[in-house]
Amino acid sequence: MASSCYSCILDRAKFEADILFSDDDSKREAMEELLEFMALSKGTVPSVVGTEREEIMKRRSRNPDPYREMKAESNRVATALLPVAKKFYDEAEDKLEALIRIAAAGNSMEWGVKGYDFDVDSFEEVFIETLNEKFDGDLEETRRRINRFDEILYLTDNAGEIVFDLFVIDRLMEMGKRVVIGPKTVPILNDVTADELEEMTRHPIEATGPVIGLSLEKVRPELLRLLKDEDFMVIAKGMGNFETITEFDDFLKGRLIYVMRAKCEPVASALGVARGSLVVRAA
C-alpha cells in the first residue's frame, strides 16, 4: 500500500462519517477504530482496508447501505445520459473503441476519492467530453480477445456506471457473446449489488462477494468457477478490482481486461499513466 493510500482511506472515512453521524464523538470513535485496524494491517492492499472501513461505518451507524441515496441519484443521472452514450456509439466508426470508452467514462462516477472531484450534476455537462478524452490502453489486444472469446465475465463496479455497463453488455451480446455479470453480494461503497441489478436486467448474474474488489477467500464458489474457466474472458471494472485482482491474476493471464478511470496516484503509477486517465489494460 502506497504512503498516500493512508490519507485517502482516512479522508473517505471522514466523508462517510460526516454523512452517517450527527455528533463528533461518534465520528471520532469510528475513525479511531479504523486507525487501530490500519496500524495492524501493514502490507495490506488498500481495498482490504477500505472494506474494513465500510464494515465499521455500517455497523456503528446501523445503516447497511450508506450510499443508497447517492446510488439512486447516480442511476438517475446515468439513465438520463444514456441517449448521449447511444448516439456516441451509433456515430462511431470504431464500435468496439466506443464501447470501451463508454465503459471507462462511466467509471468516472465516484465519490470520496481524495483529490478526485465528482459532482453528479456537473457530470451531465461534461459526459460527452469524457467520452472523447484521450484514451490510454491496449485497445488492439482488447479487440483480439473480445473477438476470440465467446463467453465473458463482466465484473462491475459502481452504481450509475452500471447503466452504461448494461448498454455495453447488450452490444456485446448482439455480437454473439454470452455475458455473465458479477456485482457485489451486499452493499459496499457505491458499488452495484446483485439485488439492485436484478431489478435492472435479466442477464445472467453471479455475485462476487461482500468486499471492495475481489477476494479469492470470500468469493462465491459459482463465481470462482467462472474465473477459473479458460473459456471465459474477464472484464474487470474499476480501481478496486484492479488493486485486488493484480494480487492473484496469474491464472487469468491472456483473458483479463481492466477498464477504469485511474482516479488516484498509486493506481495511475502502477498503470504507467497520468492520474485521471481513461484506461483499458490487457493482462
What CATH number did the domain enclosing 17 receive?
1.10.8
Number of domains into which the chain is organized: 2
Question: Which stretches of the chain are DSSP H helices?
Answer: 3-20, 24-39, 46-61, 68-91, 95-106, 120-131, 139-148, 161-174, 194-198, 221-228, 238-245, 265-271
- Structural domain including 19 reads 3-61
CA separation, residue 151 to residues 36, 194, 241, 283 (Å): 43, 20, 19, 17
**Listed residues 15, 32, 61: the one ending a domain:** 61
Residues in contact with 207: Cβ distance below 8 Å, sequence separation at least 6, in sequence order = 182, 183, 184, 185, 193, 194, 220, 223
One domain for residues 17 and 156: no
One domain for residues 53 and 94: no
Region 4-32: what's the mean pLDDT?
93
Summarised one tens digit per residue, pLDDT across range 127-160 is 888 899 888 989 999 999 999 999 999 999 999 9
Q: What is the pLDDT of residue 42?
A: 77
Q: What is the pLDDT of residue 112?
A: 45
Global pTM reads 0.94
One domain for residues 138 and 245: yes
One domain for residues 132 and 75: yes
One domain for residues 167 and 51: no
One domain for residues 258 and 175: yes
One domain for residues 74 and 206: yes
Q: What is the pLDDT of residue 129?
A: 86
Percent pLDDT > 90 in the chain is 80
Smallest CA-to-CA distance from 215 within 44, 12, 2, 4 is with 44
Q: What is the pLDDT of residue 25?
A: 97
Nine-digit cell string for 54: 465500510
One domain for residues 116 and 140: yes
What CATH number did the domain enclosing 196 receive?
3.40.50.10880
One domain for residues 99 and 203: yes
One domain for residues 234 and 108: yes
One domain for residues 57 and 74: no
One domain for residues 72 and 189: yes
